[in-house]
Structure formats: structure tokens, C-alpha cells
Amino acid sequence: MSYEMVQTLPEVDDVATQAVRRLDIKDFIDTNLDALYEKLKEADRGAPDDDVRFAASSEQMMRTIIYFMSGRKDALDAMAWVGEQWKGKTRDPNPMTILSMLALQYLEEEGMKHSDSDQIETWRRFRARLAAGTEKDADVAQNDFFASLASSA
Amino acid sequence: MSRKIGVFSPSDEWRGRAFVTVPLRELAGDEAASVKRVAMWRGGDRIPAQIDRIDPEFPDFNVVSMVLHNIRPGGAGLGLETVQLSPVLESDDSQPGDEDQPVREATPESLTVKAKGLGVYVEHDKRAEMWSNRMRLHIHLPKEPTEYQGGAITSIQLDDGEMLDPIRAEIGPRDHDPEKRLQVDRVRIANPPWYETPWTEYLVYKEAWTCVHAGAGPVRAFVNLRSSPFTVAHDGVSFVCHLHRVISVFHDVDHIIDDLYVTGRPAGKENDSPVQLSFAAHYFLKMNFSVFPEITRVPQIPDWFSIGAGVNPYPGYGFASSVPCGRIDNPPMDYPNIRSEHSAFSWELGFARTVQCLHMFKRKTPAGVVADETGRAWFDLIFKRARANIT
């Protein structure tokens, strides 16, 4: 999927917030912003020249948080929500990947809101690297999906 | 002391390591009460051995424990004798400079026993800490403040990482799941055949537990914990009973051993010797394996199971026992917290007079590998474990 496309959607922040609320991980992300920032920095250092690898590591980190910090019912409901939005649009998505990317989007927005200028630059770099890393793996159909999410938010 | 100990290995495979025990009374005879030290020799090599006085009320439970390495196959049947050991028992424990001997520090408030990287610290009626070079356990003894943690292991660290709540532990020390624990929460005692119900169930997690005894040496560190009393009454006869958990940690391994038994005395006869009762234990585990834990069982072998995760950091738990294990509930039917029900598990064991259980913990290990390792541990350490006999 294209992360850059996701960012440019007008109401994607609302969708991202909606996703983390549905997953019930908003409080966890809000209270652990610093620790998650360090995790992303770790991924950044681990793949200095490979945006795809950085994007994969970041997505994996967020997927872990969703799997371990969400509730079973919340996770199933959120996956169903993603599935409903997708239904009939094009081929089946992986709901957990989409939820992970939305949660990453939320994390970055919150990170930028609560950081000093140095950190904001780093968050911007993370965002750019995610965009570059995911663009190479872009899927037009999933962009359509995000457009549909934004319009329904 | 001219007695020898033969080690029998009922397996077609070499064993890298084996933990074996022999009853102290069989080995030392009438001198069992006065023996303080043991030196164990395998040919010309001294091997780690220690005297474990498990329960002061049951001298028959006292054992000599030892760890052996590189045991050749003895055959899959009963097993042939593959190792012969020569024990030397001594009643004098005042030999300075012997680093196998435990250091015991007792104060009115606490007891510390440690030896060669293994140890136990007991703060009376409050908590117990156990450690080895790989594992560290925190055991909560009183019923306060939650009234559900009596006798529970509330923290299990493997290689300095918390296992019961792995993600929060990775993020930091704050906000761990306050419910995380491994405990025996209830016990069933069989009723006589003419009763309408086959058993009576007693909850042991709502009351305080106490430490009966603790020990450490070059082989293991152990603590014997006892539940609050519960009364078993049949046809006008009643027994005041306790459930005991003897928890042991060892060098270099990622598992702990949990020996269970129930003792009872006729009510009002506190000076009588206690007797052992047949019982069925029920375990409760609160550990986060993600919202979709992967439970593995082999239907033909109900003595072990494993729980793993399909996502990083792949935490794993393996349970193996000397008695069959019943249904695994996830969540237990009376578990009240819907938000975290995915991380609550409970299971019941079959009836026995003594039960040996193994709890294995893994990190960064896929669920299938956790299952393989648990099955192997059950075979090697419980079902076809190496045994030692006086020869």
C-alpha cells in the first residue's frame, strides 16, 4: 500500500484515530510515545539505507502492539470494520496490515504534536521513510480502500 | 558409607542433563536426621549434589538431589543402569571454603538461602523471591491487596525479561498487567463413593499462603509454600488440610518444577502426624500471548500442552505433568475481565497423591517449536526421566 497516499487523504487522521480507538490501544500509544519513538529510532538505525526494511520493521512493531495490547473482541471488531470498508472494492486486504499502518499514522501525528523541534524533524524523517518504503510496495486498490475509509470517517 | 547409587535412563537417546533424587532415608538410614552434607562422586569426578529437607513434617520427603550430564541410553523400557555414583554423607557442616554449601541468613523478618548462583529469599508472610542464572520468580504470599493473588507467582523473568507481560516489559517497568500470574487457584478432594457429588472444590487463591521451608545448593533452589487451611469433612470426620507447592529453580534452564501435595490432620488433633490426601489441582495462568494464542495439544498424550504466539516476540509457555491434564479454558468460565480474557487460561489436573509439574517459558520461539520443546521436556524430565536407586 502507499503510505504517502494515505497521508494525503483529507480525513485520514480521523480514520487513524478511529482505528486506534476501535483497537483500544489509544491510551497505550499516548502514554508510551517516548518509548515507541525510541523503537522507531532503533528501526531507523537498523536500516539506514533501506526504506522498505524500515517500513517493514515499523509495521511489525505496530502489529505487535495491536496483537498484544488490544482486546480479542476489539481486535476482531476492528478487523471486521476494515473488512466491511473493503468489501466489494477489490481483492481481499490483510486487515491487520491496514490497521498497523493506520496506527502508525496515529503514532506519528501524536508524536509530532508532543515533541520538541528536534524530535519533530525526526518524526518527519520517519514519515518520509515510511512513505518511500511503502510506495515501492504500493497497491492502487488499497489506495482506493483508504479513500473509501476517509470518506466514511 | 558404602552404598552406591545407580542411575537408570529409560530412553534410547543420550541425555545431556538429568536431575535425579534419591530418598535421604534410604541412603542414610538411621543417620538421616543428622546428615548435613553430601559429596557425590561419579568415578573420579565430583558432581553437584545437595540434601533437600522439603517438609519438616514429612521426613520421608527429604531427598538427596543431584544433576548429571551426558548419560548414555539405557533403553526405552525400564532402562538399564548407565551411571554409578558413590555418595559420601557427613554430619559435620563446618568445613570452610566449600562453595557447594548454602549460605543461610535468617532474621525475624526474612530468610535468605543461596548457593552457587541459585537462591531463595523469603520475607515472612509477604513474598518469596527465587533466582537462578536464567530465571527469577516473585511469589506473592498474602491475600491482600487484590484477594486473588494468594500464593501466586506474579513475576517470572527469563534472561532478565518479564515473561507474563512481555510487551509492556519491553516498553518499560510501568503499567504491567496487575493480574499477571501463575497460580494453583483451587483444589478438589474426592468425596466417598456414596456421595451425590464426586468431589468438593476448595478455593486456595483467596487466602494467604505461608512458607514452610526453603533451601538452596549447587543443584537447585526450592521453596515449599503452604495454602491456608481448608476443612474436608465426611460423615462426621473432618480433616484440616493444606495444599503444598514445592517450587524449584535450576541452573541453565528455562523451566521450573512445581511439586504438589495435600496434607491433612484430623480436626482438633494438631499434634497428630499429618497424612497425605489424593487431590486434583487446578491452575490459572494470566500471560499475554497476543489476542490469538495458539494452544497445542496431542490428544493421545494429555499430560502436556503448550501455548505460543504467532507474532513477535513469540512468547511461549509449556506445561507438562505427571498426571493427565483436562480441558484448557481460554478464558476460564468464571473469569470476569472481558478486556483481557485472551490472556487468561486455566486447566485442571487428574487426581493423584503427589503431582510433579513443569512450567517452561520461551521467548522468540514460534508456537510449533514451543510445542516440540514441551513434548520433549515431558518425555525427558517427567515421563521417562532418569531415575536413581540405591544399589
List the single residue in B with minimal CA-CA distance to A76. B291
Are the beta carbons of A68 and B167 separated by less than 8 Å? yes
Q: ipTM greater than 0.90, yes or no? A: no
Contacts of residue B326, defined as CB under 8 A and 6 or more positions apart, other chains included, come to B302, B347, B348, B349, B350
Q: d(Cα A38, Cα A17) in Å, to the nearest integer?
A: 21
Grid coordinates of B283: 491452575
Question: B290 at the A interface (CB within 8 A)?
Answer: yes
| pLDDT in the model for residue B153 | 97
Region A87-104: what's the mean pLDDT? 80
Q: E strands along B191-288, which residues?
A: 199-203, 210-216, 220-226, 230-234, 237-250, 255-266, 275-277, 279-286
Grid cell in block for residue B162: 518479564
Q: In the structure, what pLDDT confidence band is assigned to residue A92 with cuts at 50, 70 and 90?
A: low
Burial of B43 (0-12, 13-18, 19+ CB in 10 A): exposed
d(CA A77, CA A91): 20
Summarised one tens digit per residue, pLDDT across range A50-81 is 888 999 999 999 999 999 999 999 999 999 99
Q: List, for residues A103-127, the tens digit of each pLDDT value.
A: 999 999 999 998 888 889 999 999 8
Report the distance separating Cα A118 and Cα A122, nearest Å. Answer: 7
Span B55-84, pLDDT tens digits? 998 999 999 999 999 998 888 777 788 888
The pLDDT score that the predictor gives to residue B79 is 75
What cell was used for B194? Answer: 456414596
Question: Which residues of chain A approach chain B closer than 8 Å at the C-beta?
Answer: 24, 31-32, 35-36, 60, 63-65, 67-76
Instruction: Kindly report which listed range (A124-133, A139-148, B351-360) carries the lowest average pLDDT score.
Output: A139-148
Kindly report the number of other CB atoms within 10 A of residue A67's CB atom.
23
pLDDT number for residue B377: 96
Amino acid at A2: S
Task: Judge whether residue A153 has pLDDT over 50.
Answer: no
Does the beta-carbon distance from A65 to B342 stay under 8 Å? no
**CA A112 from centre of chain:** 14
Cis-peptide into B56, omega within 30 deg? no
Is B158 in contact with B361 (CB distance < 8 Å)?
A: yes
* Chain B nearest-CA residue for A61: B312
Among candidates B352, B285, B282, B359, which has minimal Cα distance to B323?
B352
Per CB-CB distance under 8 Å, the chain B contacts of A73 are: 338
Q: Which of A67, A94, A107 to mutate to test the interface with B (most CBs of B within 10 A)?
A: A67
Other C-beta atoms lying within 10 Å of the C-beta of residue B255: 23
Chain B residues touching residue A64 (CB < 8 angstroms): 167, 311-313
Note down pLDDT in tens along chain B; length 391 residues: 568 899 998 988 888 899 999 999 999 888 888 888 889 999 889 999 999 999 998 999 999 999 999 998 888 777 788 888 988 888 776 555 566 677 888 888 889 998 888 999 999 889 999 999 999 999 999 998 998 999 999 999 999 999 999 988 887 777 789 999 999 999 999 998 898 999 999 999 999 999 999 999 999 999 999 999 999 998 888 999 999 999 999 999 999 999 999 999 998 888 888 999 999 999 999 999 999 999 999 999 999 999 999 998 999 999 999 999 999 999 999 999 999 999 999 999 999 999 999 999 999 999 999 999 999 999 999 999 999 988 8
A vs B, Cβ pairs < 8 A, gives 43
Reported as a single tens digit per residue, the pLDDT across B72-120 is 888 877 778 888 898 888 877 655 556 667 788 888 888 999 888 899 9
